[in-house]
Structure 1
Amino acid sequence: MRLDAKLAEKKPPEVSAGVRELISEKRPPSKKGRRKHKKPGQMPSAVQRLFETCKEIFADGGTGIVPSPEDVARLRSVLDNVRASDVGLAQNMPYFRRSATNGILPVTYLHIYECDKFSIGIFCLPASSVIPLHNHPGMTVFSKLLFGSMHIKSYDWVNMPQNSDETNDFLHFKPPGVRLAKVKTDATFTAPCTTSVLYPEDGGNMHCFTARTSCAVLDVLGPPYSNTEEGRDCTYYNDFPYTKFSGDAKLVADDDGVYAWLEERKKPDDFFVVGAIYNGPEVMEQ
């Protein structure tokens, strides 16, 4: 998602345009990855294994390009084995305290690595904080809940058949700018749990996170957000119950799916994200 917020005096390293809007304009020098060589016999850290796997899997990636099922399974397996301690996090850190600013609970973002192919970062959420409903255009996203309990609600767009009488009748009362979506996930997850994956066209490309307890989410985005001509800018949404614009009408006979209407919105004023320096094991580019 886009990162728009004010920061304290310490700022995170350089990140993409998509992430840049969540954090302040001033930052220390970029440390995308240190060019070091591992000592002979030295075991790579969990973060280093994650970086190297991402580098292989997203090497030929781009907008709308999804890794093969085998590569998705491989990266998911690597993430499933990452623990909070592997990235230098503990639940008693200040990031997870419920200290509200003007009644707003800030979310902290720890930037680990980013290039034009993928990004790795961690969202730290105090209990009751929310990352509002947003999309991931043309991206494959892996999310690993490192600790805590979180409610996730996600949607995929419904592609309506065009120029049919049934569709025209169904959408007759739909206001402009509102689009039909189907609920993919509406559940609470508690660590340890498997890594979730969403895709450009399915898997819950639009999602919202609500922290039931303090929690941390390790995110891998391939490719990362970009508000350039690549068209991977982040969009936020309001969601409305299905019955608001369609009454009791069913979209498809005998379909027991749950639907909603999504409307684009500006970034919510009560979504406040603070960038912080990642202090876990470094990524070393070979």
Structure 2
Amino acid sequence: MKSVDSIGPADVGLKEETSDDDRGHGMFGLQRLSRVAKWSQPITYIDVYECDSFTMCIFCFPTSSVIPLHDHPGMTVFSKVLYGSLHVKAYDWVEPAVLSKTKEMLAKFAVDKVLTAPCVTSVLYPNAGGNLHCFTALTSCAVLDILTPTYNEQAGRKCTYYHDYPDSKLSASGVEVKDGGTEEYAWLSEIETPEDLYMRPGQYTGPAIRE
């Protein structure tokens, strides 16, 4: 199979979506969505391949849809924008861990940028590169993700969602962080899986994946 950097939509059975009416579903053979369903802007999730070592999947975003801030504990993730434009905001935990009086945890900004295809693959690591990230679709877009190892709650790799409270000064709660005037920080509070995170399955139509 091609290297991740060289993969395009056609290599995984996709075509670039240009019609807002399709809301990112036209290439999967799904039934035509109702007007109400289109307004809710579901994200399509395609399970490409999964084994004990890694998960490969594709997310297809309608314009303005969001995957909220979440983590990848103990995992490395490769993300490749296949088409369209995506805003990425990401944090890494401050180490050693810093907690506020109300139990929020301190994180440091790692990434705040727009990725537009064609572009290189982004990589996040367990403790660097933006392990906690949020995706916002600026246009209809698709993202190929490779996660290694896979999510496994029993092994401590559970996906957790967060709300962020940016604070570049961080004098709150008696906590002082010296950032040299360049780094920015935020308090992150764990939340339940957002009720408005609406995903639906799509069918993978690309070539077979082998380890």
Aligned to 2:204: 278
1:183-198 to structure 2, matched below 5 A, reads: 183-198=109-124
CA contact (8 A) 2:168 2:184 kept: no
Please name the residue that 2:30 is paired with. none
* Equivalent residue, structure 2, for 1:130: 66
Query: TM-score scaled by structure 2?
Result: 0.85
The structure richer in strand per residue is 2
- Greater CA radius of gyration, 1 or 2? 1
Query: Does the Cα contact within 8 Å between 1:155 and 1:183 map onto a contact in 2?
Result: yes
SS of the aligned residue for 1:86 comes to: helix
- Deviation track 1:84-126 (CA, whole Å, cap 9, x = no partner) reads 0111111238451696538531110111110111011100001
**Distance verdict in 2 for CA 1:214–1:264, change over 3 Å:** same
1:96 equivalenced with 2:42 (yes/no): no
**Conserved 8 A contact 1:181-1:261:** yes
> Which runs of at least 4 in structure 1 moved beyond 4 Å after TM superposition?
97-100
User: Alpha-carbon deviation of 1:176?
Assistant: 2.4
CA change 1:102–1:260 in 2 (3 A) is: same
The equivalent of 2:75 in structure 1 is: 139
Tell me the equivalent position of 1:219. Answer: 145
Counterpart AA for 1:210: T
The equivalent of 1:156 in structure 2 is 92
Distance in 2 (CA, whole Å) between partners of 1:188 and 1:231 is 31
More helix by share: 1
- Equivalence for 1:177: 103
Tell me how far apart the structure 1 counterparts of residues 147 and 188 of structure 2 sit (CA, whole Å).
23
**1:202 corresponds to:** 128
- How much has 1:279 moved relative to structure 2? 1.0
Normalised by the length of structure 1, the TM-score is 0.64
Instruction: Please show how residues 6-45 of structure 1 align to structure 2 within 5 Å.
Output: none
CA distance in structure 2 between the partners assigned to 1:113 and 1:254 by the alignment = 44
Q: Distance in 2 between matches of 1:232 and 1:111?
A: 18
**Match of 1:121?**
57
Distance 1:126 1:84 in 2: 16
Query: Is the alpha carbon distance of 1:157 and 1:253 closer, same or farther for their aligned partners in structure 2, counting shifts above 3 Å?
Result: closer
Residue ranges of structure 1 left out of the alignment (5+ in a row) = 1-48, 51-77, 162-166
The Cα offsets for residues 168-201 of structure 1, whole Å up to 9 and x where unpaired, read as xxx7xx3322011000001111111110000011
Aligned length: 199
**In 2, Cα distance between equivalents of 1:102 and 1:269:** 17
Query: Structure 1 residues 108 and 250 mapped into 2: Cα distance closer, same or farther (>3 Å)?
Result: same
What is the identity, as a one-letter code, of the residue corresponding to 2:117? Answer: A
